[in-house]
Structure 1
Amino acid sequence: MSGRARLTLAAWAATLMGAGALLPLVKPATWIFTAAFVLALVSGVGTLARRAPLARPLTVLAQLLVTVLVLTAIFAREQAVLWFLPGPQVFTHAADLFRAGAEDVGRYAIPAPDTEGIRLMLVGGVVGIGLLVDTLAVTFRRAAPAGLPLLALYSVAAGLSGGGAGWLWFLLAASGYLLLLLAEGRDRLSAWGRVFGGAQRSGRSGSAVATGGSAFAPARTGRRIGAV
């Protein structure tokens, strides 16, 4: 697996792990599978666009277009042209769903029922955050700032739950972010080429040979720092 593909997979996983804190808010939590599917499609389109290669803004635009088409097919199929092309009726229906979802959030106690409006808000929000994470971490190769939208995703869940988001969900979200940083670090490290260690004990003084153990020393150090 290439470094860019590994980074794409890490961005997808980090977003879903950050969205884990939203799971206790709605029952049943089957919306997470829809979000994972849509986000996988968006990530796949990004992968193809980057291989083309398209300019970075065009890559983001292609991903955004696919997001709109897929969400239209899922939530507004009857209002769309050919079941997936958005028109004025699609945007009107989406606005109505968002309005109904906001009312349902204020009406129901946690866990709220999985109404269509709440489902659209959850899936659309997670996919939007995932697109932003993919853009920062993969398209622009800036994984560290991608932690901000992930933090926003967790903070929304913690706020809606009244601060009752469990520490396990926090650890899951934090692990996803560290996974993303590790994938980026590994990708950057691989771009350095072969890593050479010091001279072997049996070799001549001052000679430099490639050693298998020292080649992975930076990666091991990074994992230890991330664990702490």
Structure 2
Amino acid sequence: MSGSVRLAICAALATVAAACALLPLVDPASWLLQTVLLLAIQSATGVAVRRVPLARPLTVVAQAVVTLLLLTLVFAHDQALGGVLPSPQALHEFALLLRDGADDVGQYAIPAPLTDGIRLMLVGGVMAIGLVVDALAVTYRSAAPAGLPLLALYSVAAGLSDDGSDWLWFLLAAAGYLLLLLAEGRDRLSQWGRVFSGGAPHPSGMPPSGLAGAGGSPALAPVRTGRRIGVLALGIALAVPAVLPSLDGGLLDRQGGAGGAG
């Protein structure tokens, strides 16, 4: 598997992991399975287009066009040309669904029912985030900034959700982002060639060559170190908030516990 394909898979997985934070907001969660399928097609389109190759902006445009066709097929196929090509009627149907979805969000309590409008907002929003993440991490080979759209997706879900499993969704989102960073690091490391090890003498008594072979463990050491650092960072991020005192008094108390009218 090439580094570009591995990055594309990790970008899609990171998007799905962050989107899992939206699960407590809507019932049922069948929209996520649909989103995973559409994200897979979107990611595969990027992999295919990058093999041509096209200019980077054209790659993003091609993925955006495919994304629009997929959303048209799923949500407005009756109004589309040939069931897939967007028409003015199909775009009008999108506008109606988005308006209905906004009304449903304001009307229903969490978890809200999965209406067509809410489903379009969820699937379309995650697809848009997935496109941005794939463009940054894979097309432009910059995985670190791809954490910003993932953070935005998680933050919206975490801000609306009030269940007791927030730590689980944070763990999934953070693990997906770290997986993407590790995939990019591995891809960059593979472009350097063989890694100088400078280790102990060879078992046969020959002096070490200083280069790790294709199957040697020294070449994998940076990747293993990155995994350990990632696991340690996740553990700290989960443990520190649990042991720190909560800020629930004085001006920070939003429950009305403090006296006074202001």
| Counterparts of residues 31-42 of structure 1 (less than 5 Å) | 31-42=31-42
**Higher mean C-alpha deviation, range 46-55 or range 155-164:** 155-164
- Structure 1 equivalent of residue 206 of structure 2: 203
Mapping for residues 111-190 of structure 1, pairs under 5 Å: 111-162=111-162, 166-190=166-190
Task: Please state how far the C-alpha of 1:197 moved relative to its aligned partner.
Answer: 1.3
Tell me how far apart the structure 1 counterparts of residues 44 and 84 of structure 2 sit (CA, whole Å).
Answer: 19
2:213 corresponds to 1:213: no
Distance 1:207 1:180 in 2: 33
Share of identical aligned residues, percent? 63
TM-score scaled by structure 1? 0.95
Correspondence for 2:72: 72
How far apart, CA to CA, are the structure 2 residues paired with 1:45 and 1:21? 26
1:208 deviates by 2.5
Question: What is the SS of the residue equivalent to 2:109?
Answer: coil
Find the aligned partners of 2:168 and 2:144 in 1 and give their Cα distance.
Answer: 22
Bigger relative CO (Cα 8 Å, ≥ 6 apart):
1
Given the alignment, which residue of 208, 227, 241 partners 1:223? 227
Unaligned runs of 5+ in 2: 233-262
Pairing 1:47–2:47 present: yes
TM-score, normalised relative to structure 2: 0.83
CA distance in structure 2 between the aligned counterparts of 1:141 and 1:73, rounded to whole angstroms: 30
1:109 and 1:62, CA in 2 relative to 1: closer, same or farther beyond 3 A? same
CA distance in 1, matches of 2:209, 2:47: 42
Q: Larger Cα Rg: Structure 1 or Structure 2?
A: 2
Moved over 3 A (4+): 162-165
- The answer to whether the 8 Å contact 2:105/2:112 transfers is yes
Cα RMSD, aligned residues only: 1.5
Q: Which amino acid aligns with 1:35?
A: T
Q: Partners of 1:131 and 1:220 in 2: how far apart?
A: 29
Measure the CA separation in 2 of the matches of 1:17 and 1:199.
Answer: 39
For residues 125 and 4 of structure 1, the distance between their equivalents in structure 2, rounded to whole angstroms, comes to 24
Figure out how many residues of one structure are paired with residues of the other and give that number: 227
> 1 CA distance for matches of 2:146 and 2:99?
29
